[in-house]
Every structure is written in C-alpha cells, then in structure tokens.
Amino acid sequence: MHSFSRLLEQNYTTVLEQNVNILWQQCAVILRDNLTPSVYNTWFASLEPVEFIDHRLVLRVKSQFVAEYIEENYIDLLGKTIRRVFGNETCLEYRVLVDSTSGAATTYPSDGGTSSAVRTLPGMPAPVQAWDTQLNPNYTFQSFIQGETNKLARTAGMAIAKEPGKTVFNPLFIYGGSGVGKTHLANAIGNQIAQQNPSLRVLYVSANTFKLQFQEAFNQNKIPEFLLFYQSVDVLILDDIQFFSGLKGTQDTFFHIFNYLHQMRKQLILTSDRSPIQLRDVEDRLLTRFKWGLPVEIQRPDLELRKQILKDKVHRDGMQLSEDIINYIARNACENIRDIEGVLASLMAYSTLMNSEIDMALTEQVVSRVVVVAPKVVDISDVMGAVCEHTGISEQAIQSHSRQHDVLQARQMFIYLSKNLTEHSLADIGNCMGHRSHTTILHAFNTIKQQLEYDKVLKHELQLLEYELKR
C-alpha cells in the first residue's frame, strides 16, 4: 500500500510537470478575477511558467524589479493561487534574463509572504541543519562593487570570510553614512562564511531587534536562555549598533556576549553610522572592545564607483540604459547607493507603467523627484577643456598671441562661454588667457556676439558646447 501511494504521488507529480502551462492558465484565470485589468496586465500578464519540478514552480519575469514588486504587493494572492492549483507544497521562484545574447539568467526564490526579521524571543540553540542565519541572500561579494571608497573594508571582509575568528580583524567594525553599503558588506561576509562552512552558526541581527529581544527576555525572566542562545553563535553580525546608545541594560548584556564570543575566537562583525570614538552614551568598556580589531570606514561612493554600481544593477535587472543616462544618474544621485537604487526602481516603474523607453527626458524627470538636482557649477577649466576637445586646438595655443584664424576662433569661443557660463569676472578670464586686459577680453566677447547674429554654424557649435558643459 505504501509503495502504491508513493507511485501514485510520483505519477501525479509527473502529470503536473507535463501540464505546467495548462495549470498556469488556471492560475491566470484566478488572478484576473481578483485583480483589476490594469494591475493584471502590468504585473502578471507577462509571467511565463518555465518548469515545475519537485514541487518547485519557476516563473520567468521581465526584470528583478517586477519580481520584487509582486513580492512586496501581491505575494499573498499569488502564493495562495499557486498552492491551490499546483498543490500545498509548491514553492515559487522567479527567473530573470540578464543577458539576451548568451541567454544567462538569474533565479530568485520567493519569500512566500513571510518576513525574515527576527520577531520572537530566541530559545535554545537550533540544530545547525535548522539554523536560520537571517541573512539577505542577495547581498554577496559578487554584487558588492569595489571602489576606492570601500576597498579596505571589502578586502578585510574577504579575509574574514576565509578564516572567521582567526584573523586580527575581530571585531570588524564597519562604519559610514547611510546607504553606503555597510549592511550589504556585512551580509556578504556572512553569506560567504555560511556557504563555505555549513557547520558554523552565522547570525545577522539588527541592534533594534536585539534590543527588543532583550526586553522580552527580561520581562519573561529568560535572560539565561537569551545569553545561551547568543553564546552558541559562531559568527555574530550586529547591524546599526549606534542604536544601543543610552540602553544600559542592553549594553551590559551585549558586553558579556561580546566577551564570551571573542574569548572563544568566534567572529564579531559590527556596523554603525559613525566611528567608535564618535558613539555617544555607550559604555567605555564596550567602546574599547569595538577598537580591538579593525574599525574601517566605507565612504560615500565616488563618481567612478557610482557608475560601476549603476552598470552592474542595470545588467542584473535586465535594463538597458545609454551611457549618457548612466552618467547623468551617477552625477546627480551622489549621496549614497540607496539614491541610485531609488532612481533605477522609479525608472523601471515609470517605463513599465507607461510602456515607454527610458530616455533622457524621463530620466531627468525621475531623478528630480528622487534627489535634489543642484545646477552644475561650470568653471573656467571646464570651458577650456571642452573648447580644446571640440576644436582640436591646444590650451597653449589658445593662450598664445597667435592670430591664426582657427586659433583666434577657439580663443573667442572660450571667452564667450566663460563669460556666459561661469561666475568669473572679465579680469579672471583675462588672467587665464595670458594676463590679457579687461578691455581685450570684452572686445573679443562683443566680436563673437555680433558674429552669432549671422553665423549659424558658429551658433550651433556654441549651443552644443553649452549643452555639454551644463549636463
């Protein structure tokens, strides 16, 4: 009887696998009945079943943004629909095409409508096989783009991932402003350790969650159990430790946990929005320990790193953006990585909802709503560089006293643009031109201004240069 039941189950699964398209159409009917036409057509009409094997349904989506939007807003309905049609044990994954040429794709597991946040009081340590790391699987070293502003932190993190608890970087104290990648790097270290050392208990927890757990343990007289749980951890990642400020009981308890784990050569990774010496209302004995290992700063990403991050995210999300659009976003979304992610998410949303290509006009509109776009300040050096590149005349030649026509024209173009686009005086411009007088510079400016009234080619060239300088 048992063998027959197993055979029946296997045959039923085979039938499901062979008829995945038919079953998905049943799901589509249910979804259409429960959603407005606009919502269904925008987010669900393009979903395609790829395979259904071992209770795992894989759906092809146009981009990671679409998958994340469905997960955040409609996963309860989608999950219930899939389990109703495919069976209660069905789990969902999304497949995103990241390279149309090679056909390379990335698969993302569905959250199933559940949250990975720690909401309950830790109990006795779970077996390693059942241990929940609370790590974000999308935060890896592969997706953490290295630049000059984060190179040291990433290098230290990779060393720790290879030998957790055995390097001098214990604790690793990562600090920096909001949105620069501290949480990403901390999770990347944890994910790498968990992958290479399945027998180790790796745990990610925010300082706020730790505080709430401690308060619950205190109220229930379960502090010993709380300590036992955290002392069983092999790699503890504590995020945003600045929120311990002023919490004496929480600090005292963490002090004992820190001491035990450090003495047992377990790895500690801490993050904060400021360095240890800048933390306020934190006990000196804790601050001293925070500096035992390596305090390392992740600075605001520079322009080159912002471009690299943009290109990586665009590639992984299956988007296509021109170099001009990437440069524009990188120059204006300059405070942190979250600004960049916000701009890209908004661009994808606008493009999807409006069914339009992402062009510069849409980009400028979206960027202005996500970040404050300050007018670009043009300097004399910017003008000189642009004129030299456009005309092919060297800076030395423009500053010389040559009366050659092409040199004279380039010199006058520089003077005209410098007066119109910069805040420098005529005297400043004259000094940049080999200490020419105020009168000479004004004469050159008026000459080219008159020439613009009839020379359409020159007018077009100056308009083009002005546009490039203001971008």
- Give the pLDDT of residue 121: 45
- Give the pLDDT of residue 196: 93
Q: What are phi and psi of 36, to 5 degrees?
A: -70, 155
- Taking domain 129-297, whether its CATH number is 3.40.50.300 is answered by yes
Q: Which residues of the chain have pLDDT under 70?
A: 1-18, 97-108, 111-130, 371-377, 471
What's the rounded Cα separation, in Å, for the pair 153 and 470? 35
Q: Is the dihedral of CA 410, 413, 415, 418 positive or negative?
A: negative
- Give the pLDDT of residue 205: 92
**In this structure, are strands 172-175 and 267-272 parallel, antiparallel, or unpaired?**
parallel
Domain boundaries of the chain, sorted by first residue: 2-109, 129-297, 303-370, 380-470
The distance from CA 192 to its chain's CA centroid, rounded to whole angstroms, is: 19
Task: State the burial class of residue 251 (Cβ atoms within 10 Å of its Cβ: 0-12, 13-18, 19+).
Answer: buried
Q: Of 264, 42, 79, nearest to 165 (Cα)?
A: 264
Q: Which residue has the tokens 């606009």?
A: 38
- Give the pLDDT of residue 108: 65
The full 3-state SS of 5-56, as one line of letters, equals HHHHHHHHHHHHHHCHHHHHHHHHHHHHHHCCHHHHHHHHCCCEEEEEECCE
- Give the pLDDT of residue 17: 46
pTM exceeding 0.85: no
- Give the pLDDT of residue 96: 77
Question: Helix, strand, or coil here: 4?
Answer: helix
- Taking domain 303-370, whether its CATH number is 1.10.8.60 is answered by yes
- Give the pLDDT of residue 366: 79
- Give the pLDDT of residue 376: 61
**In this structure, are strands 48-53 and 202-206 parallel, antiparallel, or unpaired?**
unpaired
User: Domain 380-470, what architecture?
Assistant: Orthogonal Bundle (1.10)
What's the rounded Cα separation, in Å, for the pair 371 and 363? 12
**Cβ pair 188, 139 in contact under 8 A:** yes
Q: What are phi and psi of 94, to 5 degrees?
A: -110, 140
Contacts from 384-388 at CB under 8 Å and sequence distance 24+? 384/414, 384/432, 386/417, 386/465, 386/468, 386/469, 387/413, 387/414, 387/417, 387/465
pLDDT tens for each residue of 26-38: 889 889 888 888 8
User: Domain 2-109, what architecture?
Assistant: 2-Layer Sandwich (3.30)
Structure tokens at 442: 């004004």
